[in-house]
């Protein structure tokens, strides 16, 4: 089956970038937590740069200089030793899930840079489950998932379905943006809930996310989540 543009471009771009970053992962060792964050951040920036070109209508070019920089930067990357097989499996999962989600985000009119939401929330892990009950790569709560057409019951939980969950998450993000008018507030609502953000806005008398941060009217998790998404988003431009 032939993959249609821009899906075909996304496959080529992401496959090339992930292949070029493999040596950095395979060769490094020690300091697992910091290392994973560093490799992940560089990969995300390189991929998002190329996704932005696709979104803007530019030719899809897996530019070697951009991708190679993620693995041959002047600083040394440290990462845990893992088997090549496990690295390849992780790369394949990230590629497949990210490409599917990217196509859905394009169709739903959501910025491709916001794919990092799933990476931050779960590492694109379909089986991720939070203590509060959020589940799947997009960490959707049951009520939110059902609101956007997913089945969640004792027999079936479609929050773990990569494509259906991505569609629900994209529509939810789009709705939040339409409701709150900017992405910082929309992301805050995605993480903390619309009611929590609406209440914070009413109490503060402002729709400025950073003012809400200064006033500590949002949960600590949200105060970390939103800047993290925005920072990675900016890093990819």
Confidence of residue 122 (pLDDT cuts 50, 70, 90): confident
pLDDT for 100 equals 87
Cα dist from 61 to 64, 82, 83, 104, 222, whole Å = 9, 30, 30, 21, 35
In whole angstroms, what is the distance from residue 74 CA to residue 55 CA? 30
pTM of the model: 0.63
Confidence of residue 30 (pLDDT cuts 50, 70, 90): very low
Omega before residue 125 within 30° of 0, cis:
no
Greater confidence (237 vs 87) lies with 87
Confidence of residue 27 (pLDDT cuts 50, 70, 90): very low
The residue from 121, 158, 175, 202 that is catalytic is 121
Residues of the chain with CATH 1.10.530.10: 123-237
pLDDT at 195 over 80: yes
Helices 194-204 and 183-192, axial angle in degrees (round to 10): 120
Instruction: Confirm whether 121 is a catalytic residue.
Output: yes
Instruction: List, for residues 139-157, the tens digit of each pLDDT value.
Output: 999 999 999 999 999 999 9
Which CATH architecture describes the domain 123-237? Orthogonal Bundle (1.10)
In whole angstroms, what is the distance from residue 193 CA to residue 201 CA? 13
Confidence of residue 34 (pLDDT cuts 50, 70, 90): very low
């Amino acid at each position: 089956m032939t993959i249609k543009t821009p899906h075909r471009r996304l496959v080529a771009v992401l496959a090339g970038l992930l292949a070029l970053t493999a040596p950095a992962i395979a060769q490094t060792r020690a300091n697992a937590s910091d290392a994973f964050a560093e490799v992940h951040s560089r990969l995300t920036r390189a991929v998002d740069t190329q996704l932005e070109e696709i979104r803007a209508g530019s030719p899809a070019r897996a530019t070697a200089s951009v991708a190679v920089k993620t693995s041959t930067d002047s600083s040394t990357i440290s990462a845990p030793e893992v088997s090549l097989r496990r690295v390849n499996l992780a790369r394949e999962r990230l590629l497949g899930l990210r490409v599917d989600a990217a196509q859905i985000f394009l169709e739903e009119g959501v910025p491709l840079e916001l794919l990092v939401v799933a990476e931050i929330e779960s590492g694109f892990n379909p089986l991720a489950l939070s203590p509060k009950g959020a589940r799947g790569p997009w960490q959707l709560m049951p009520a939110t998932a059902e609101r956007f057409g997913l089945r969640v019951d004792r027999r079936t939980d479609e929050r773990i379905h990569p494509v259906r969950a991505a569609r629900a998450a994209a529509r939810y993000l789009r709705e939040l943006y339409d409701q709150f008018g900017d992405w910082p507030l929309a992301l805050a609502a995605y993480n903390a809930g619309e009611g929590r953000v609406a209440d914070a806005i009413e109490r503060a008398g402002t729709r400025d996310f950073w003012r809400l941060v200064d006033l500590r009217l949002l949960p600590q998790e949200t105060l970390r989540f939103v800047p993290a998404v925005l920072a990675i988003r900016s890093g990819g431009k």
